[in-house]
């Protein structure tokens, strides 16, 4: 086959609508070339239009892009009628309990949902050098990284000066941002502002779980986040706005953020595509008055991984055991929350979840099916595929710059983090009773140029640590 000149690109490459399932074929060429793999026949969103392109992967795990049938490689993979997309980026992944023991399980359910990079920006680590030293020594299916965990630093340190010193040390060690959850750990405004100023100093994003979730006060939390962005100058990201901050007043919350951005602030938010939340029963979210706060009863709560509904007695028992409970579907009506948020350019997808245990399922289904569910839901409500893919690739990548500069896009020289999926069938399968399920329609995932997942089977490990 003759080579044609490669297409030069500066834009993000996401994917396109397609239908029909065709078998993935592999053909080996006897001759060698500088490309080890060429993906042929897939549909890609490139230079603001849908195109059928050749996507090559070179020996260094980088991308080369060519016109259809123009590239030559050691191996040709037929992906006709499939979507070839940048790998999905989860900025709100959660694997906090025992990550050294559970990270492979966690990564297994991320990659089977099309995620190539899972970053723990809602929590993270109080010692980032130690974190990266530990996890860089292990093999990974996907790329990984963490934020500075203010909550954990505050648990171990009482002096604000010492807390700031530890946060700054994490940033110097490569932490991807600063995160704090002020509903779970109420903190004076003046102290929060100091952490945001450190994020600004190091050009990182400040990730914030807002202070209030009640109908009466949730917008006060949004106002506080805007004030932090204004007074610190930092980029501020609001975690899962539909469950904390915009549950009851989503339009008003979004309008406030839109206005702040129009005035020069840099604010973003994320949502997950489910109409219910889940959290640990021992958290402050379930402190006295939770029934009135959320309009729920004991029997509304369901123990994750089972069909068990709680009672006053079992609530007390499971709270002592630090179990995870989910509220009923419809608690966060999608049409009034997520659907409104997805229409805004500053809103993206973040899971706020992760599967940590195989035998005793412990996660909201978002831990395994968030991204496939988001793509299906976006299409079902009339979003274009390129728009919903932007919210799982380019937008999350953009708030982790400069560390993610060569990821979350398909362009010449970018790292080959690639997800190939069938648009007709893509969807999450995870449920509250059985969250540990692979998503439908995710056919192949490449991480740093290595095939890491194919049609239900885990393949090579090639993930690396992402840090500044």
Per-residue pLDDT tens for 441-454?
999 999 999 999 99
For residues 331-346, average pLDDT: 96
Strand bridging mode 177-181 / 143-149: parallel
- 363, 325 contact by CB (below 8 A): no
pLDDT at 93 exceeding the cut of 60: yes
Query: 248 to each of 348, 364, 432, how far by Cα in Å?
Result: 19, 21, 23
Tokens of 355: 């599967």
Query: At 1, is the pLDDT very low, low, confident or very high (cuts 50, 70, 90)?
Result: very low
Query: At 33, is the pLDDT very low, low, confident or very high (cuts 50, 70, 90)?
Result: low
What percent of the chain has a predicted confidence (pLDDT) above 70?
A: 93
Q: Specify the pLDDT at position 425.
A: 98
Q: Specify the pLDDT at position 279.
A: 86
d(CA 205, CA 195): 11
For residues 126-155, average pLDDT: 97
Scan for tokens 């500053």, then name that residue. 346
Q: Specify the pLDDT at position 342.
A: 98
**Preceding peptide of 135 cis, ω within 30°:** no
How long a stretch of residues is the chain? 468
Q: Specify the pLDDT at position 306.
A: 82
For residues 36-44, average pLDDT: 97
Higher pLDDT, 189 or 292: 189
Cα 374 to its chain centre, rounded Å, is 11
Query: At 9, is the pLDDT very low, low, confident or very high (cuts 50, 70, 90)?
Result: very low
CATH architecture type of domain 88-288+331-398:
Alpha-Beta Barrel (3.20)
d(CA 466, CA 408): 12
- 271, 238 contact by CB (below 8 A): no
Residue ranges matching CATH 3.20.20.140 in the chain: 88-288+331-398
3-class SS string, the chain: CCCCCCCCCCCCCCCCCCCCCCCCEEEECCCCCCEEEEEECCEEEECCEEEEEEEEEECCCEEEEEECCCCCCCEEEECCCCEEEECEEECEECCCCCHHHHHHHHHHHHHCCCEEEEEEEEEEECCHHHHHHHHHCCCCCCEEEEEEEHHHHHHHCCCHHHHHHHHHHHHHCCCCEEEEECCCCCCCHHHHHHHHHHHHHCCCEEEEECCCCCCCCHHHHHHHHHHHHHHHCCEEEECCCCCCCCCCCHHHHHHHHHHHHHCCCCEEEEECCCCCCEEECCCHHHCCCHHHHHCCCHHHCEECCCCCECCHHHHHHHHHCCCEEECCCCCCCHHHCHHHHHCCCCEEECCCECCCCCCCCCCCCHHHHHHHHHHHHHHHCCCCHHHHHHCCCHHHHHCCCCCCCCCCCCCCCCECCEEEECCCCCECCCCCCCCCCCCECEEEEEECCEEEEECCEECCCCCCECCC
d(CA 365, CA 57): 33
Tokens of 14: 């996401």
Among 277, 278, 215, CA closest to 252: 215
Per-residue pLDDT tens for 356-376?
988 877 789 999 999 999 999
Q: Specify the pLDDT at position 238.
A: 98
pLDDT at 30 exceeding the cut of 60: no
Residue ranges matching CATH 2.30.40.10 in the chain: 25-85+414-458
Q: What angle do CA 274, 278, 282 make, to 5 degrees?
A: 170
For residues 295-309, average pLDDT: 89
For residues 277-302, average pLDDT: 89
pLDDT at 110 exceeding the cut of 90: yes
Q: In what order do the strands lie in the sheet with 278-280?
A: 278-280, 324-326, 302-303
Per-residue pLDDT tens for 415-424?
999 999 999 9
d(CA 433, CA 371): 19
Higher pLDDT, 321 or 398: 398
Query: Torsion-angle region of residue 449: left (phi > 0), alpha (psi -120 to 50) or beta?
Result: left
How does the average pLDDT of the chain come out, rounded?
A: 91
Q: Specify the pLDDT at position 361.
A: 77
d(CA 157, CA 159): 6
Higher pLDDT, 23 or 228: 228
Compute the chain's Rg from CA coordinates: 22
Higher pLDDT, 296 or 147: 147
pLDDT at 105 exceeding the cut of 60: yes
Domain 25-85+414-458: give its CATH superfamily: Urease, subunit C, domain 1 (2.30.40.10)
Per-residue pLDDT tens for 164-208?
999 999 999 999 999 999 999 999 999 999 999 999 999 999 999
Per-residue pLDDT tens for 219-235?
999 999 999 999 999 99
């Amino acid at each position: 086959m003759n080579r044609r000149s490669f297409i030069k690109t500066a834009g993000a490459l996401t994917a396109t609508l397609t239908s029909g399932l065709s078998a993935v074929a592999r053909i080996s060429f006897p001759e060698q070339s500088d490309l080890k793999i060429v993906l042929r026949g897939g549909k890609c969103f490139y230079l603001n239009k849908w195109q059928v392109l050749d996507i090559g992967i070179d020996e260094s795990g980088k991308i080369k892009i060519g016109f259809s049938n123009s590239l030559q490689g050691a191996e040709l993979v037929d992906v006709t009628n499939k979507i070839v997309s940048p790998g999905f980026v989860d900025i709100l992944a959660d694997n906090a309990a025992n990550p050294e023991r559970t990270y492979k399980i966690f990564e297994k359910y991320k990659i089977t949902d099309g995620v190539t990079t899972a970053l723990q920006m809602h929590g993270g680590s109080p010692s980032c050098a130690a974190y990266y030293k530990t996890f860089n020594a292990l093999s990974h299916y996907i790329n990984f990284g963490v934020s500075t965990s203010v909550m954990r630093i505050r648990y171990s340190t009482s002096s604000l000066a010492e807390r700031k010193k530890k946060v700054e040390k994490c940033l110097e060690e490569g932490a991807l941002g600063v995160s704090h959850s002020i509903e779970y750990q109420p903190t004076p405004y003046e102290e929060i502002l100091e952490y945001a100023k450190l994020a600004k100093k190091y050009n990182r994003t400040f990730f914030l779980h807002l202070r209030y979730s009640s109908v009466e006060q949730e917008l006060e939390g949004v106002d506080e986040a805007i004030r932090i962005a204004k007074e610190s100058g930092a980029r501020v990201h609001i975690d899962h706005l539909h469950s904390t901050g915009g549950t009851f007043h989503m339009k008003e919350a979004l309008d406030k953020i839109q206005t702040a951005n129009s005035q020069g602030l840099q604010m973003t938010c994320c949502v997950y595509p489910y109409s219910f939340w889940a959290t640990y029963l021992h958290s402050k979210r379930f402190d006295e008055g939770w029934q009135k706060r959320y309009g729920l009863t004991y029997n509304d709560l369901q123990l994750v991984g089972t069909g068990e509904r709680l009672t006053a007695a079992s609530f007390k028992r499971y709270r002592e055991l630090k179990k995870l409970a989910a509220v009923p579907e419809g608690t966060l009506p999608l049409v009034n929350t997520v659907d409104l948020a997805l229409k805004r350019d500053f809103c993206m997808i973040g899971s706020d979840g992760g599967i940590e245990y195989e035998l005793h399922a412990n996660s909201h289904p978002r831990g395994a099916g968030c991204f496939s569910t988001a793509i299906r839901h976006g299409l079902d409500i009339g979003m274009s595929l390129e728009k919903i893919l932007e919210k799982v690739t380019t937008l999350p990548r953009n708030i982790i710059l400069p560390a993610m500069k060569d990821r979350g896009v398909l362009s010449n020289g970018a790292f080959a983090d690639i997800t190939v999926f069938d648009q007709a069938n893509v969807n999450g399968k995870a449920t509250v009773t059985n969250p540990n399920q692979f998503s439908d329609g995710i056919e192949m995932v490449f991480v740093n140029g290595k095939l890491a997942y194919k049609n239900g089977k885990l393949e090579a490990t090639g993930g690396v640590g992402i840090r500044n």
